Amino acid sequence: MKKSSLCGVNKCLLDVYNLLPFNNPDGGAWKQGFEISYHGNEWDEQPLEVLLVPHSHNDPGWLKTFENYYQDQTKHILNNMLIKLTEDSRRKMIWAEISYFSKWWNDIDEQKREMVKRLVAAGQLELVTGGWVMADEANSHYFALLDQLIEGHQWMQRHLGVRPSSGWAVDPFGHSPSMAYLLKGAGLSNMVIQRVHYAVKKHFAQQQTLEFLWRQSWDSSPSRDITCHMMPFYSYDVPHTCGPNPAVCCQFDFHRLPGGRAMCPWKKSPQPITEQNVQERALLLLDQYRQKSLLFRSHVLLVPLGDDFRFVEASEWDAQFSNYQKLFDYFDQHPELHVKARFGTLSDYFQALHHRLNATRTALPTLGGDFFTYADRDDHYWSGYFTSRPFYKRLDRTLEATLRATEILFSLTLAEMRRFRGDGRLVSDFPAREHFQRLTAGRQSLALFQHHDAVTGTARDPVVVDYGTRLLHSILNLRQVLQSSAHWLLLLDKSQYYHDQSKPFMQMDDVISAHDTLPLKTTLVLNDEPRSLIIFNPTEQLRSSVISVVVDSPDANVVDAATGQSMTAQISAVWAQPNQASTEQFQLNFVAELPPLSLVVYHVTKAPFGSAHRARYTFYRRGNPPAVQSEHFQVSRQEGPEADGPLLLSNKHIRIWSSPETGLLQKLRLQSGPVREVRVQFLWYGTRRNQDKSGAYLFLPGEEGAQLYSSSEPPLVRVSRGPVFSDITSCFRHFTHTVRLYHLDGHAGRSLEISNTVDIRSEFNRELVMRLVTDVTSGNCFYSDLNGFQMQQRRTLQKLPLQANFYPMTSAAFLQDVASRVSLLSAQSQAVASLRPGELEVVLDRRLQQDDNRGLGQGVTDNKLTASLYHLLLEDRRGGAEEVGGASFEHLSLLAHLTSLSLNHLPITMVAPSNTQVPKLRSYLPLHSSLPCDVHLLNLRTLEDSQEADSPSQEVALLLHRKGFDCSSAPEPQLQCTWSAQEEVDLDRLFSPLRFRSVRRSGLTLLREDDQPESARLPAPPHIARLRPMEISAFRVEVA
């Protein structure tokens, strides 16, 4: 596809950034805006229509835990909502967080549930967005964003029989078009956003483009556009929603009436509305409404009424509703004012808006791009939370990968059981219902953590502990489902299946002992009897993977259980200290060939002495050669002239040169090309001295900028070489950094694995950064991903402060010029920047002693020993890139997509017991071949039974994502998988020999009413489906 204008729309955010001066002049009453004036006759032809939308923003955890907020505030808000909305049919309310709403629903009786249904049916109560939470849009991965929407929408459909039509995201700290795409795909047609850079808001207000059609940058068709309303002012609270002057608007927040706890900081309090003051009050409020309406293209005005945890007490409901009703009645009695005002929901607003736009034939502009990085005032950019609490950002992705793997294996297990029995029923002693409940709890834990104070790292310490505990428990519970499912699938004689919760047949090969510790490998005790290792490949691709387990012997042998073939293996040391190898534990690494979605059985035995390939080690330390303890391994120390030459490692595809002093990468060469500069550096950022400082949300670096990391003593550098992998490890005081090359054929050997273990608990107001310095002539452009779903061009602008040029990176970033591209793929979210041409840096951890005045009331000092994992890819480019899947839009290459897939979905290793009575296990290979390399199996999610709650149904949600990819860099050697230029695919051939009894395309959240009608259902093969590049497709299927 050929390239068109940068976004293919009439307004592109990159162009807006180029245009704006970012000079922040004082706008008067509307400090970040401008004076608004009018004559008064603008509404004579078309009266102003005002919809006041009551809302209460309930964070599922922030200053208190989810549970404590619910008990202290949320349940009272919802209890009062039932009473107060029922009292007067003109009253309305919107609610967003299904996590809270579902918890409350479980607490109330049938009579109250019927009242809820009546209020919903009458349009008095509207559930908006319908997500489990109001999700963060910077750090969240698109799997989790969609999963929390599915969880919420399925709950709404099951319990209330309704679906959301409008999105409401007033508190996430910046907004992503990936979310807009998911909402539209889930059947929503409108959305509201709030936290956008104040200079962008002002520009949009001046242009009257605060309402627009948001289009994906890769999309040329309007069919996936969604109507978006951007709130114009500083906040979603009452002082900043009625109009441009907060001192006036605060007087119409009747929760702040004199005598209560809440006050107006502008020193003018609200007054109860009486017959004596109603005229003066109504005209004062109308003036604000009129000014605000002039920022929009229609005469329909959205005015939210609410704030965090509002409407707890009955008295607040009465104060707000009765005083506003008096004002509305006054407007009604005075038609010469040309205003109609009423309480409304978001649906009411957008219905009125579209009606008015159609009547006046007014078109909204289309817009492409995203709304990062957010600043709410001055140079206070919210780029700190892209990295805050990185330990939990990594745990989030561990749970996500575990959940997806478990969903797929569980769904396959149920299908195989039904086939095995032949009557469509499940095996009686398999705990399908309990496992389904564990899956549901796992979905809900992952969903809860997508909240914009959870994965962001912006909650109080005890709340972080609560989230972490939930994440860990879910991982452990899902592992039970995984083990139990694998157990049944692998048994040759299915009658030997048993389920014993206290003694599971299989164990994982590692233990996570607490929510704030890294996993530890368990040691396998070897003897002459083979130990069975079961490896699950959760990806849809055949892959060569290196499997690492810890054993108690330096001599071990691995064979494929099915063929008896010996696997390439190496024994490496387990380093108790950087220079001291364990004498009890050894790392056994072997190359496994794993078919897609397979469970493969390997046998490990103790081998004759000296028969296993052992890694060889070389140690370096400038000026102070280390004493090394390692009785089982060959170790040499480099001294003299050799020690000054660069450290060299290579495999069939890549050669690297590293510094002998630091062990850090300096140069890289693809076997086909010239030597390229790719240097790794570590740096510190401090924070400002005399004014506002960095905290959980904000990144406010000191004027000195980044300072190169230096340590008083030189690092210990350890080089290992072996037949499976070779690596260089640098042990610094605050981090251990390893760069590893795998000796693998195919694409797995094409990238460089980079891993860090970081510990900055000794530091004070510092942030640690890893920077790549390359010779790519990238100018001021680089690319980072949005939610792992799409790439977004970024431009580093000198007119912006340093912290403004940092962006979220969920899973990928790259630099490129005409000849080459350097991609950094990551297994966790963090901040990324390219401050100079050819440079790319990621923030690894931040420790900040103070609050940054955004309401949290604490710094970030609960740092942990934190791991981060990357793959670095250098690719040649051939000029004139053709794109598959978008206008002028850059995608990852197919090689980068596959590398990212394997990085985010590691093989899962399980261990069978060591006794001789182990029943016969047979590898499970559900697919004949890999899916096409541009088709990703996003999920295979068993749906809840519509008759029996908390039980699995025969229906499964099949979610496929067809990736857009860049064709300018075709890897050598060619990839093993295929891709097709055709959009039509045969699902039966794709998943052969699995069979689908029925296939119905549905919406992204699998709501019944989004299913294709019966006539379009595909009952018999072939099941042909259209998968467009970049699109996610959802099908309701029965796996036969």
Cα 791 off chain centre by? 14
Q: According to the model, what pLDDT value does residue 10 have?
A: 74
Distance CA 297, CA 287 (A): 18
- Cβ 317 vs Cβ 84: under 8 Å: yes
Q: According to the model, what pLDDT value does residue 637 have?
A: 86
Tracing tokens 């368990």 back to the chain, one arrives at: 522
Nearest CA among 246, 359, 245 for reference residue 300: 359
Which of 55-59, 83-87, 420-424 has the least mean pLDDT? 420-424
With b for 16 or more beta-carbon neighbours within 10 A and e for fewer, the 217-249 pattern comes to: bbbeeeebbbbbbbbbbbbbbbbbbbbbbbebb
pLDDT (mean) for 654-677: 95
- Cβ 337 vs Cβ 290: under 8 Å: no
Q: pLDDT of 357-393, one tens digit each?
A: 999 999 999 999 999 999 999 999 999 999 999 999 9
Q: According to the model, what pLDDT value does residue 638 have?
A: 79
Nearest CA among 759, 763, 760, 733 for reference residue 849: 763
User: What percent of the residues of the chain are helix, what percent strand, and what percent coil, each to the nearest 5?
Assistant: 25, 30, 45
Q: pLDDT of 801-815, one tens digit each?
A: 999 999 999 999 999
- Cβ 965 vs Cβ 892: under 8 Å: yes
Q: According to the model, what pLDDT value does residue 1015 have?
A: 65
Q: What number of helices (H) and strands (E) belong to the chain?
A: 17, 49
For residues 664, 666, 670 and 674, what is the CA-based torsion angle, rounded to 10 degrees? -170
Contacts of 326 (CB under 8 A, 6+ apart): 273, 278
230 pLDDT exceeds 90?
Answer: yes
Q: According to the model, what pLDDT value does residue 623 have?
A: 86
Q: pLDDT of 850-908, one tens digit each?
A: 999 999 999 999 999 999 999 999 999 986 544 444 435 799 999 999 999 999 999 99
Question: Checking DSSP bridges between strand 790-795 and strand 820-826, what pairing results, if any?
Answer: unpaired
Question: How far apart are the two ends of the chain, measured CA to CA in Å?
Answer: 38
Rounded to 5 degrees, φ, ψ at 314 are -55, -35
CA pseudo-torsion sign 136, 142, 146, 147:
negative
- Could you tell me the two tokens for 356? 């008015």
- Could you tell me the two tokens for 701? 């670096």
Computed over its alpha carbons, how large is the radius of gyration of the chain? 30
Q: pLDDT of 320-359, one tens digit each?
A: 999 999 999 999 999 999 999 999 999 999 999 999 999 9
How many other C-beta atoms lie within 10 A of the C-beta of residue 272? 13
546 pLDDT exceeds 60?
Answer: yes
Q: For the packed helices 110-121 and 142-160, what is the interaxial angle rounded to 10 degrees?
A: 110
Distance CA 817, CA 677 (A): 14
User: 956 - beta bridge partners?
Assistant: 942, 1037
pLDDT (mean) for 93-105: 99
Distance CA 297, CA 357 (A): 8
Q: pLDDT of 482-529, one tens digit each?
A: 999 999 999 999 999 998 888 899 999 999 999 999 999 999 999 999
Distance CA 442, CA 789 (A): 22
Of the residues 171, 516, 845, 988, only one is catalytic, namely: 171
Cα–Cα distances in angstroms (integers) from residue 292 to residues 30, 99, 193, 197, 301, in the given order: 11, 33, 16, 18, 8
Distance CA 63, CA 71 (A): 14
Three-state secondary structure call for residue 611: coil
- Could you tell me the two tokens for 980? 């097709």
Geometric angle at alpha carbon 870, from 461 and 549, rounded to 5°? 90
- Quote the strand ranges of 578-629, DSSP E: 580-594, 599-606, 616-620
Contacts 24+ apart (CB under 8 A), 104-110: 104/70, 104/74, 104/75, 104/78, 104/79, 105/159, 107/75
Distance CA 419, CA 436 (A): 19
- Quote the strand ranges of 277-332, DSSP E: 300-308
- Could you tell me the two tokens for 275? 């017959």
Maximum CA pair distance of the chain? 99
Average pLDDT across the chain, whole number? 95
Q: What is the helix (H) or strand (E) element at residue 483, kind and residue range?
A: helix 461-490
Rounded to 5 degrees, φ, ψ at 190 are -140, 160
Which of 232-246, 280-294, 776-790, 976-990 has the least mean pLDDT? 976-990
The 3-state secondary structure of 507-564, one letter per residue: EECEECCCCCCCCEECEECCCCCCEEEEEECCCCCCEEEEEEEEECCCCEEEEECCCC
DSSP state of 375: B
Which of 488-497, 506-515, 627-636, 1012-1021 has the least mean pLDDT? 1012-1021
DSSP for 224-260, written as a single string: G-EEEEE--SS-SSGGGTSSS-HHHHGGG-GGG-TTS
DSSP for 726-748, written as a single string: EEEEEE-SSEEEEEEEE--SGGG
- Is 171 one of the catalytic residues? yes
Q: pLDDT of 106-140, one tens digit each?
A: 999 999 999 999 999 999 999 999 999 999 999 99
Q: According to the model, what pLDDT value does residue 913 have?
A: 86
Distance CA 225, CA 523 (A): 54
More confident residue, 162 or 918: 162
Distance CA 128, CA 345 (A): 9
Cα–Cα distances in angstroms (integers) from residue 763 to residues 461, 734, 746, 758, 848, in the given order: 18, 9, 43, 12, 9
